[in-house]
Amino acid sequence: MNKFQFVLVEDELLLQKVYSFRHKVLHEIYPNYLQNSGLSNGLEFDEYDQYAEHFAALDSNGELCATVRLIHHSPIGYPTENSLEFNKDQFKRSHLGELSRIFIDKRYRNLKDTKIIIDGLKKILYYKMKELDIHYTYGSLEKSFLRLLRIYKMDYQTLGEPQVHGLFGTRYPSILKTDILAKDNGYE
């Protein structure tokens, strides 16, 4: 039996669990963000979620243990471009997305489980990006997480200097090219 199951979130109950899980993880790693966000109902969501596909990893007990969202075709822009400075005109809008809220439960934040989770999520993300004709996805990434994603064959390239991103600390504006993701991971 597989340790994890990877799913596209398609029902409201699981989506509410995703928002609750995100709140829990943000409370652990960015408590100042939650204090200043005004989100006091135990759910974390923002204006970008309505333009996103949500993905989850479930453990062998069916409990949520990781999440990520793919924002696409957003008329309000993307979190990275709306909060960091870099050349935003280099990518065609109709082929652009952003991966964000990549969170893993602290019980699974070890090299072995994290690799399994990232591998499973990136595969279903890739096929959704292909379906939506997304050629590039932004990311606003900490230096250590950028390095970790590269190790796990998500070769984000930085688009500018590190910058302070609100209450989330120093981040690099970054881009992941879908064709490079496919090549590096042997997809298709």
DSSP 80-128: HHHHS-S-GGGS-GGGEEEEEEEEE-GGG-SHHHHHHHHHHHHHHHHHH
Residue 38 pLDDT greater than 70, yes or no: no
CA distance 180 to 175: 11
Choice among 3-7, 42-46, 81-85, 121-125 with the minimum mean pLDDT:
42-46
Q: Say if residues 95 and 133 touch (Cβ distance below 8 Å).
A: yes
Mean pLDDT of the chain: 93
Higher model confidence: residue 19 or residue 37?
A: 19
Q: Which CATH superfamily is domain 4-185 in?
A: Gcn5-related N-acetyltransferase (GNAT) (3.40.630.30)
Domain boundaries, the chain: 4-185
- Give the sign of the dihedral formed by CA 131, CA 176, CA 140, CA 96: negative
**Average of per-residue pLDDT across 69-81:** 97
pLDDT > 80? residue 79: yes
Length of the chain: 188
